[in-house]
Amino acid sequence: MKALFAKAAARLFLACAILPLAAACMTVPGTGRSQLNFVNQAALNQEAAAAYREITAPGKLSTNRRDAELIKKVGARIARASELLLAEYGQADEIAGFNWEFNLIESDDVNAFCLPGGKVAFYTGIMGICHDEEGIATVMGHEVAHVIAQHGAERASQGQMAQIGGFILGTALGGGGMSSTTADLVMQAYGLGAQIGVLLPFSRAHESEADRIGLSLMALAGYDPDKAIQFWDRMSADSGGSNDALNFLSTHPTDSQRIKNITAYIPEAKTRAETNHIAPVKENQLVTTPAKADPAKGARDGSSS
């Protein structure tokens, strides 16, 4: 196992040293970690936009206009927060070409995702657990963090290194094209796995990093990052619920270690908000999508009498 790691590290070093690409080794905004990334971002954004158009086709969106507007309101704030965070790392260009979209999809699945290029979707099934704007901001901050930290692209790059020894990267490096395998891998990583039949959870390290960056995005968007703890507590309480919840919960286990990590990164998020003179959001609007009926406990949260 150690030898394997040593080999991988040597390859990473080689790739970073010899590949004539500024993009091959990137710094993750919000944490400063170095990552390997060969994926052609512009091509990936195009693939993502096409997938997103299918998922948000007419008839699939929620008719709850109020909650749909709430997703767009929080989304606009998180998008602005992403610009601020990336500017701190001199990486504003990374999302300059994003065409952000925020939609609410009618589905009992407890899920939400952000695709490369800034395509965000929430399912109505997660809205009850979000409860309010701050809950939405917690989830949105986390999902957008996976994208601006390019976790899917990083994993696909690592996969390519492992598979082909780092020699033939043409498909991912090509000017406009990208192998569909690479694109599929990245899409699955961002939560579209359920559509394709396989879900690729992010590694624990990526989850933890998304939590950390997500808190900063939340704070830079004017929300109180302390409220993230309450969201994950609600998520944890829901984990005894129906199978619909398994998608999100299996990839986002809320154990005490996770809560501890989140707690540790809250001060950093608050400092960022202060440095950027962020005014707090005045009104924390409540979600109106009724909480899902839980067969074990009956309807929750007074969604029905």
Alpha-carbon distances, residue 113 vs 99, 121, 136, 171, 233 (angstroms): 15, 6, 12, 26, 20
What is the rounded CA–CA span in Å between residue 275 and residue 155? 32
Q: Is residue 141 within 8 Å of 214, Cβ to Cβ?
A: yes
Active-site residue, from 94, 143, 154, 207:
143
Span interacting with Zn ion, options 60-68, 156-164, 204-212, 255-263, rule CB under 5 A: 204-212
> Scanning the structure block, which residue is given the tokens 């359920």?
194
Q: What is the DSSP letter of 22?
A: G
Whole-number minimum distance, CB 17 to Zn ion, in Å?
31
Nearer to Zn ion, 91 or 251 (CB): 251
Whether 191 contacts 140, CB under 8 Å: no
Q: Which is nearer to Zn ion, 117 or 166 (CB)?
A: 117
Cβ at position 96, least distance to Zn ion in Å:
24
Minimum distance, C-beta of residue 206 to Zn ion, in the bound complex (Å) = 7
Q: Which of 271, 289, 276 is nearest to 136 (CA)?
A: 289
Q: Which is nearer to Zn ion, 113 or 223 (CB)?
A: 113
Contact 190, 116 (CB under 8 A): yes
Number of chain positions touching Zn ion (CB under 5 A): 2
The residue among 154 and 207 lying less far from Zn ion, judged by its C-beta, is 207
CB of 65 to Zn ion, least distance (A): 28
* Part of the chain binding Zn ion (CB under 5 A), chosen from 125-133, 156-164, 174-182, 207-215: 207-215
For residues 17 and 97, give the distance between their C-alpha atoms in angstroms, rounded to a whole number.
28
Mark whether 283 is an active-site residue. Answer: no
Contact residues for Zn ion (CB under 5 A)?
Answer: 207, 210
Residues annotated as part of the active site: 143
